[in-house]
C-alpha cells in the first residue's frame, strides 16, 4: 500500500479541541495541507481552531460539535463525515480517563468512559470501514489507544481496560478488511503533556510525559505510512519490548507504586500535601 497523501484531502480528527487532537489538526493543516472535519464538545474551541486554520493554513475546516458519549451525536458525526465531502482519513482520538482508585469511579462515570472511549470508537470505525470498502476509496483510519492498554495501569484501571479493548478490537478487525487501499492503524502513546495529564495527580509523573508536538508528529507519521501498531518515542518503543520480557505482575506492581505515590500527594480535597 502506498503512503497516504493528505494534501487537499478531508481528514476527521475527533477530540480536536485540545491536546493531541488539537496538535494533530494543526500539523495536518499546516504541514500536510489537509482539509479537516474537527469534532469535540467545546464549540468555542473548535470554532476558534477553524478560524485559525482557515486563515493561517488556507485549508477548509468543518466543525461538528458532538458529545461522543451520546449515541445520537455519534450518528450525526458519522453522517456529517460521509456526506458533503469525500473522507480520506480519520483520527479517532477523543478520550477521557479516571485517575484515582477504581472504587471512587461511579457507575455513571464508568459508563461515560466506556461510551466515549469504546462504544463511539467501535461505531465510528465500523461505519467508516464499511464506507471505505463500499466506495473502494483509498484511505486510513487511526485509533488512538495508549500504552496503558498494553500494560494495565493501576489507579487508571477502567481507562486501561478501554484502551486494551481498542487494541484487541482493532488488531482483529484489521484482518477482516478486504480493501487493499484502506489501512487501520493503532497508535499507543505513553504519557503526553495535555489537559488529560494537567491535573495535580500527575505532578510526580511529569518527567515521563512526551511533548504533545512530538506525539502528534509521530501519530501523523504512523497514519501516513500505514503502520499497524505504533508506539511513539524511541524510549517507549524499547520499554515496550523490554517490559514484555519481564513478568507482567512485576511490571504492574512497579506502575502501581509509582502512580500511588503520585496520587498520595494529593489529599481528598484535591490539595497537595
In the complex, which residues of this chain contact ligand NAP (CB under 6 A)? Answer: 15-21, 40-42, 45, 66-69, 93-96, 116, 144, 146, 189, 191-192, 194-197
Residue with cell 502501581: 256
Closer residue to ligand NAP in complex, CB, 72/176: 72
CB nearer to ligand NAP: give 17 or 26. 17
Q: How far apart are CA 218 and CA 231, in angstroms?
A: 9
Question: Shortest approach of ligand NAP to residue 29 CB, angstroms?
Answer: 16
What are residue 142's DSSP bridge partners? 91, 185
Q: Whole-number minimum distance, CB 245 to ligand NAP, in Å?
A: 22
CB of 156 to ligand NAP, least distance (A): 10
CA distances from 58 to 8, 41, 81, 264 (A): 10, 24, 20, 47
| Closer of 138 and 185 to ligand NAP (Cβ) | 185
Burial class (CB in 10 A: 0-12, 13-18, 19+), 241: exposed
Dmax of the chain from CA atoms?
58
Catalytic residues: 159, 163
Amino acid at each position: 500500500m502506498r503512503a497516504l497523501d493528505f494534501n487537499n484531502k478531508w481528514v476527521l480528527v475527533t477530540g480536536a479541541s485540545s491536546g493531541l487532537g488539537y496538535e494533530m489538526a494543526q500539523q495536518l493543516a499546516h504541514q500536510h495541507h489537509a482539509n479537516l472535519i474537527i469534532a469535540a464538545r467545546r464549540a468555542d474551541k473548535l470554532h476558534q481552531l477553524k478560524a485559525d486554520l482557515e486563515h493561517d493554513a488556507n485549508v477548509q475546516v468543518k466543525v461538528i460539535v458532538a458529545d461522543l458519549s451520546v449515541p445520537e451525536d455519534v450518528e450525526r458525526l458519522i453522517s456529517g463525515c460521509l456526506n458533503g465531502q469525500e473522507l480520506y482519513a480519520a483520527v479517532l482520538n477523543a478520550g477521557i480517563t479516571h485517575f484515582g482508585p477504581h472504587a471512587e469511579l461511579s457507575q455513571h462515570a464508568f459508563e461515560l468512559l466506556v461510551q466515549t472511549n469504546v462504544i463511539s470508537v467501535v461505531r465510528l470505525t465500523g461505519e467508516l470501514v464499511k464506507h471505505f470498502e463500499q466506495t473502494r476509496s483509498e484511505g486510513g483510519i487511526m485509533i488512538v489507544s495508549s500504552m496503558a492498554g498494553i500494560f494495565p495501569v493501576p489507579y487508571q484501571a477502567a481507562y486501561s481496560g478501554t484502551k486494551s479493548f481498542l487494541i484487541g478490537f482493532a488488531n482483529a478487525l484489521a484482518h477482516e478488511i478486504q480493501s487493499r487501499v484502506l489501512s487501520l492503524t493503532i497508535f499507543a502513546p505513553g504519557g503526553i503533556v495535555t489537559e488529560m495529564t494537567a491535573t495535580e495527580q500527575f505532578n510526580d509523573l511529569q518527567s515521563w510525559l512526551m511533548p504533545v508536538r512530538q506525539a502528534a508528529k509521530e501519530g501523523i507519521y504512523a497514519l501516513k505510512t500505514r503502520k499497524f501498531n505504533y508506539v511513539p518515542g524511541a524510549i517507549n518503543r524499547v520499554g515496550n519490548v523490554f517490559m514484555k520480557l519481564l513478568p507482567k505482575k512485576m511490571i504492574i506492581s512497579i506502575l502501581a507504586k509509582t502512580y500511588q505515590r503520585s496520587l498520595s500527594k494529593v489529599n481528598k480535597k484535591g490539595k497537595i500535601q
